[in-house]
Amino acid sequence: MTDTESGAIAERIRRLPPDRIREVMDFIAFLESRPDAEAYETMIASEKVLSRDWDTPEEDAVWAGL
């Protein structure tokens, strides 16, 4: 991000009413909590392999009481 872009974002945020600033902060927290594209792709690729261990009667029995 360039300094110009950062400045434009900051200026627009300064003009928002307080309730909208809280929404912006919530949205930023949401974006920060999302995995990046590479991490997401790794997670999806791992799911099939890990399901061999997860999708078993023994594993189901362990988690049944929770």
Q: What is the pLDDT along the chain (66 residues), one digit of tens a residue?
A: 898 999 999 999 999 999 999 999 999 999 988 878 888 888 888 888 888 888 889 888 988 988
Report the pLDDT value the prediction gives residue 1, as an integer from 0 to 100.
81
3-state secondary structure of 23: helix
65 — alpha (psi -120 to 50), left (phi > 0) or beta? alpha
CA distances to 4, 8, 38 from 12, rounded to whole Å, are: 12, 6, 31
